[in-house]
Amino acid sequence: MGRKYLYINGQKSVEIEEGEGGVNAVYIDGKLHDFGGEENPDKIAFAHATKRKKYSSFLNSQFENLVILTGAGSSVGIGDNIVTGEITEERKGRLLIDLWDDVELQLTKQVMDRFCVLVRYEDKNEETNQYIKNLEKLLSLANISKNYVKDSEEDNPLDIDDIIKKIEKLIQQKCTLILPNDAPHSIFIERVTKRKVTLPRVKIFTLNYDTLFEQAGRKKNFTIIDGFSFSHPRTFSGRNFDLDVVSRNSSRVKEEDNFVQKVFHLYKPHGSVDWTRNGNDIVQKDWVEKPLMIFPKDSKYESSYEQPYFEMMSRFQQYLRGENVLLICIGFKFNDKHIVTSIIEALEQNPGFQLVVVNRTIDESPGNFNNVFEASKKHNNIVLISELFEDFAINFPDLKSYNQEDLKKINLSNQNEQQSL
């Protein structure tokens, strides 16, 4: 059991000590919290409330540039039932380990085991002798093997390329989700877009293939600037990210831009289930046969240098180099080399950069995240939060937003007050 962090920000922290009977103790800023003789205090509820008070205080100011990065944690377990003919399927966001089970179910375990042997995937649990469910590594080996490895089975030989296509098709299917009414995406978008109208628009980068953020934006009548034209067919061009939406009021005496509310930018560096190629164009449709997606494999770093992915990554790097930048990572495990490299560079090179990481757990883990974990104990510009996306969305500060007319009224009221003094 032992102690587990719920929140870290330099010298500020919230920890719980777990035992067989549940939470035995709570540590605030490294010190054991005294419940003052309170009978049967709800220690875990107190720890979560203290954690949320701390991160709400940190987020309660409006940063000039707000960038959101979401990984699988913002989709897992979220999705409504999908009806196909007379069949109703419960389809929710899946982790890669869950997608392995889906592939095995479709191919059968016997075929899956043969496929692993054929492409020389050898990672097994020493105790159970079962394959470790690393679908990304399996697809990486399969893509290397497909050009020169042939199955020697005479009766029913496996075609590596055909199985890869079946796996990718299944991933597309499982990532085609319907936003349920209680999904946290809608409230999260409403909270993060409440900003002063003079500040840059919120930039949301999602590494997920699904369209949950798009559905949430449309449901709440947001204008989404996603790189695709507003005309049909919706065609991609990086220049579309430079567009904005303003209200032109002909009755105004002073000519100025009046930026409308409820607008955000959406970037999908790994592609989407509703993107496809149409000749030389990249278009967005409700349903596509061959989606533009960077499927999980080692070569996804190289694929990020192709369009439209290159445009997304270039924008991500550009925004992290801005002034007074806050990057909030949600459900991102720091496993994607090309993404992590940009974040580490911003931490090291940009003095105006701050990082918030929201994951189910934030305790020390191997790899790139361990460096961030250790740095968060020393530096105030890194905040780590143990929280589900749903709870984080609900507890995100509900800041006041002003349009141009509101600001004029506030300024006029302040001037009148000063004149009356």
**Residues in a beta bridge with 89:** 82
Asked if 237 and 300 touch (Cβ cutoff 8 Å), the reply is no
- Cα–Cα distance between 384 and 359 in angstroms, integer? 8
Return the residue matching tokens 């939406």. Answer: 245
| Count of other CB atoms within 10 angstroms of residue 91 | 16
* Other CB atoms within 10 A of residue 93 CB: 21
Return the closest-CA partner of residue 10 out of 397, 358, 355.
355
Q: Are 144 and 164 in contact (CB under 8 A)?
A: no
Count of beta carbons in the 10 Å neighbourhood of residue 381:
17
Say what the pTM is: 0.90
Higher pLDDT pick, 155 / 23: 23
Number of Cβ atoms within 10 Å of the Cβ of 398 = 13
- State pLDDT tens for residues 49-105: 999 999 999 999 879 999 999 999 999 999 998 887 778 888 999 999 999 999 999
CA angle 315, 214, 338 (to 5 degrees): 30
Average pLDDT over residues 143-167: 89
Say if CB 103 and CB 111 are below 8 A apart: no
Query: Lowest-pLDDT range, 36-40, 191-195, 346-350?
Result: 36-40
211 near 274, Cβ under 8 Å? yes
Q: Which helix (H) or strand (E) holds 349?
A: helix 337-349
Q: Residue 267: how many CA atoms within 13 Å on its side-chain side?
A: 26
Arithmetic mean of pLDDT, 270-289: 92
**Which of 186-190's residues contact partners 24+ apart within 8 Å by CB, and which partners?**
186/216, 186/219, 186/220, 187/393, 187/394, 188/216, 188/389, 188/392, 188/393, 188/396, 189/213, 189/216, 189/217, 189/220, 189/222, 189/264, 190/220
- φ, ψ of residue 349 in degrees (nearest 5): -110, -25
Cα 187 from chain centre: 15
Query: Could you tell me which residue, 146 or 365, shows the higher pLDDT?
Result: 146
Is the bond preceding residue 291 a cis peptide, omega within 30 degrees?
A: no
Q: Report the alpha-carbon distance of residue 208 to residue 272 in Å, rounded.
A: 7
Owner of token pair 């992915």: 309
Torsion of CA 237, 173, 137, 294, to 10 degrees: 0
Could you tell me which residues are beta bridge partners of residue 81? 90
Provide the edge-to-edge strand list for the sheet that holds 281-284: 234-235, 281-284, 275-278
Q: How confident is the model at residue 193 (pLDDT cuts 50, 70, 90)?
A: very high
| The two three-digit tokens of residue 414, written as one number | 């302040």
20/8 Cα distance (integer angstroms): 25
Mean pLDDT, residues 332-348: 91
Strands (DSSP E) along 29-166, which ranges?
Answer: 31-32, 65-70, 81-84, 87-90
Closest residue by Cα to residue 382 from 341, 321, 323, 328: 328
How far is the C-alpha of 343 from the C-alpha of 339, rounded, in Å?
A: 7
Three-state DSSP state, 203: strand
* Buried-state track 179-193, b at ≥16 Cβ within 10 A, e below 16: beeebbbbbbbbbbb
Range 36-57 average pLDDT: 92
pLDDT in tens, 230-261: 988 999 999 999 988 887 765 455 555 678 88
Is residue 317 predicted with pLDDT exceeding 80? yes
Mean of the per-residue pLDDT values of the chain: 88
